A and B are shown apart, each in its own frame.
Chain A
Amino acid sequence: DAKTTQPPSMDCAEGRAANLPCNHSTISGNEYVYWYRQIHSQGPQYIIHGLKNNETNEMASLIITEDRKSSTLILPHATLRDTAVYYCIVKRAAGNKLTFGGGTRVLVKP
């Protein structure tokens, strides 16, 4: 599975949009981009995934560049409860083993 690169940390103001970048320049054609998050002392939580089209659900939006070498997770209106470590993962759909790297530690401030 392709490796991903994320900034180690970022702050966001409550109520504002949080834009979390992820680089995956070695992504293969059959690999998907997944995002999970982990709130302190809890298990990881699935957020969203996509292949090449932009995706949106009740939690977030995922924007994937046309060359698929990078993506951005958007939390449209960050709340204090969104404070967590966010993990960007690239993997094939046929196979469900997850491997997390360092992720981005997001701190939502009042």
Chain B
Amino acid sequence: GAGVSQSPSNKVTEKGKDVELRCDPISGHTALYWYRQSLGQGLEFLIYFQGNSAPDKSGLPSDRFSAERTGGSVSTLTIQRTQQEDSAVYLCASSLEYLDNEQFFGPGTRLTVL
């Protein structure tokens, strides 16, 4: 079946602009995660959603970052007033449930802030 998809695959924006990144998880997966990966670095957790529970926003680096998950499926990560240090690959993952062991990752969105 279809895996996790993300759009756009690449996004170039100017400093100060807002951007929206989209994630379509695997159908039926109740848990959805956002991570980011800076060039040559490891994975940094941002936020996760589990069913109808309040999201865990503990990894968001600033209040410029926010995320929504509508209808328990598609999620949007929004970065307001982008800064150059926001440049990274933003990865979305989903799993069957929060306590499930395997996360399925999308291909990521490469964000470049000029």
Interface residues in chain A, defined as those with a beta carbon under 8 Å from any beta carbon in chain B? 32, 34, 41-46, 49, 87, 93-103
Contacts and interface: CB of A to CB of B under 8 A. Distances in A.
Given A43-B93, A101-B42, A96 B100 contact: yes
Nearest to B106: A43
Contacts of B43: 44, 87, 98-100
Contact of A87 (B42, B44, B93, B99): B42
Interface string B29-56: 0010101010000111100100000001
A74 B31 CA distance: 29
Contacts of B104: 46
A9 to B, nearest CB: 13
B20 interface: no
B101 interface: yes
Contact of B103 (A42, A87, A98, A103): A98
Interface of B: 4, 31, 33, 35, 37, 42-45, 48, 56, 59, 91, 93, 95, 98-108
Contact of A100 (B42, B98, B99, B101): B42
Nearest to A102: B42
Given A94-B99, A97-B48, 12 more contacts: A34-B101, A42-B108, A43-B4, A43-B91, A43-B107, A49-B101, A93-B99, A95-B98, A99-B43, A100-B37, A100-B42, A102-B42
Nearest to B42: A100
B44 A96 contact: no
A94 to B, nearest CB: 6
B42 A99 contact: yes
A99 B101 contact: no
A104 to B, nearest CB: 12
A38 to B, nearest CB: 9
Q: Nearest 6 A-B pairs (CB), nearest first?
A: A43-B105, A100-B42, A100-B43, A46-B102, A97-B45, A101-B42
Nearest to A45: B105
A99 B108 CA distance: 16
